[in-house]
Structure 1
């Protein structure tokens, strides 16, 4: 049996540690973090919003970060659970869909502070519409069918007001995105529509909608919404670094402030699947999740 002196043992330990660290670094070096987001806005806008964040994540993680737009909400769900994406910006409902489809193998890691009490707004140009009940017999548009703030929660509050969109409205449509909903209402294609409050405020602030013509007539109570999610099989060390990178974003740093502003976030905070139990219940109650 070969015996090593304590000094040789120490040297071997150092070498093995170095090899281990080198292997870890190699694993990270070979990895590409594949990122996407639900298409709740135009693809060019999503790319613009993500670019500084992608650069920041590359610096923090030491891996290449690639953003790939998807064609619809369902594609973002399938992309994550089928291992074609690693990190996805989900709405509350799409997170619930992904978590259900994967058998509980999708983990929400962070959300914006604003997403603890997110809201939807109902908008119109019709002076006769001033409350939800006035939507009976009207043409109405939601956003995407899988949108939390553009469909699920607006539908839930309509049902609570004893209005069934499928039977009480003249016609319902799905615009596909929040900015498209505003365009449909402003252009007179529909009498009213619902979208998330964040996009509405952004468009108003940018002067892309005349709030004297297109007005908000109802704002929902708050609910949990958007989050960044990963699969449960992501390397734990990478998941921690990723989570820490989001949590460390600080508005006092000019570059990080740009990232937060583009994400329409004050800051990012930890989140958990349990926060979305009410969203799941609302989806089942509305018949949107089987």
Structure 2
């Protein structure tokens, strides 16, 4: 039997604890890798995230990096394959990620507005005043994987007895909400649909004239966006993240800037069950295999 002095034993224990700390998830995670579905231009997504990223760095005590992705699918694959740690998903992309991962994606928080999110149908054509008028027209969704730019609008069209694939002259996918507005205002399509949040932002910024491009139908509310993480994220980091979002207060000037850029009144907890209706809609529309 090997015998150690007290000082030798203490040194060995210290080394073992240091090794354990170095290999632990808390120590290993020096950078939080964040991304978002590309529902707006990459430069706009980075501009919106910068103050939030700085805030999260302070709260987590680690570096936060935002990496734009090329398309919606890349955001899903990035989180599932451990290339990203947290992603801003739409309701449908969360469902896709959760199904693809076998239920290992956790929706962390959502904006209060995302409990009753809406989409708006827009046009410059004076003859279009209701969903039924879209028959025989050229129409644009956003991204094929977008909740508010495709999935939920498609479900409301089908409920109104309009099948986009057979009743419309041509259906296009612009790829992003702001691109849909550009397609409609530029006359490339007769009408289109996008999320109400981006629409209101573009109108407020004077980037679209609501007298020229008008909303002719607003959908009922549904659950949409959330910040999601993998279930294997260190629980300490996950709690710090959740607490940081929930602590944002519009009465604090710094927090107010972050919330305004995120187009949020405040963040609230969310859960996977909130997106069950979106999963059902996706399966009914044949968009989820």
Q: Which TM-score bucket, shorter chain as reference?
A: over 0.9
> Could you say what secondary structure the match of 2:220 adopts?
coil
Matching of residues 259-278 of structure 1 within 5 Å: 259-278=258-277
Tell me how far apart the structure 2 counterparts of residues 24 and 225 of structure 1 sit (CA, whole Å): 37
Q: CA RMSD in A?
A: 2.1
Question: What residue ranges of structure 1 are gaps of 5+ in the alignment?
Answer: 1-10
- 1:21 positional shift: 11
- 2:186 — aligned with what? 187
Tell me how far apart the structure 1 counterparts of residues 58 and 254 of structure 2 sit (CA, whole Å): 13
- 1:27 positional shift: 3.8
Matching of residues 101-250 of structure 1 within 5 Å: 101-250=100-249
- 1:91 — aligned with what? 90
Whether contact under 8 Å (1:28, 1:62) holds in the other structure is no
Structure 2 length as normaliser, TM-score?
0.92
Whether contact under 8 Å (1:132, 1:158) holds in the other structure is yes
> Could you say what secondary structure the match of 2:192 adopts?
strand
Tell me how far apart the structure 1 counterparts of residues 61 and 112 of structure 2 sit (CA, whole Å): 26
State the number of aligned residues. 278
- 1:31 positional shift: 1.6
> Could you say what secondary structure the match of 1:146 adopts?
coil
Tell me how far apart the structure 2 counterparts of residues 267 and 283 of structure 1 sit (CA, whole Å): 28
Tell me how far apart the structure 2 counterparts of residues 175 and 257 of structure 1 sit (CA, whole Å): 32
> Could you say what secondary structure the match of 1:33 adopts?
strand
Whether contact under 8 Å (1:29, 1:62) holds in the other structure is no
Tell me how far apart the structure 2 counterparts of residues 261 and 122 of structure 1 sit (CA, whole Å): 24
- 2:32 — aligned with what? 33
- 1:268 positional shift: 0.1
> Could you say what secondary structure the match of 2:128 adopts?
coil
Deviating 4+ runs (over 4 angstroms): 18-26
Shift of the 30–172 alpha-carbon distance from structure 1 to 2, 3 Å rule, reads closer
Tell me how far apart the structure 1 counterparts of residues 25 and 163 of structure 2 sit (CA, whole Å): 56
Tell me how far apart the structure 1 counterparts of residues 60 and 233 of structure 2 sit (CA, whole Å): 14
Tell me how far apart the structure 1 counterparts of residues 182 and 160 of structure 2 sit (CA, whole Å): 26
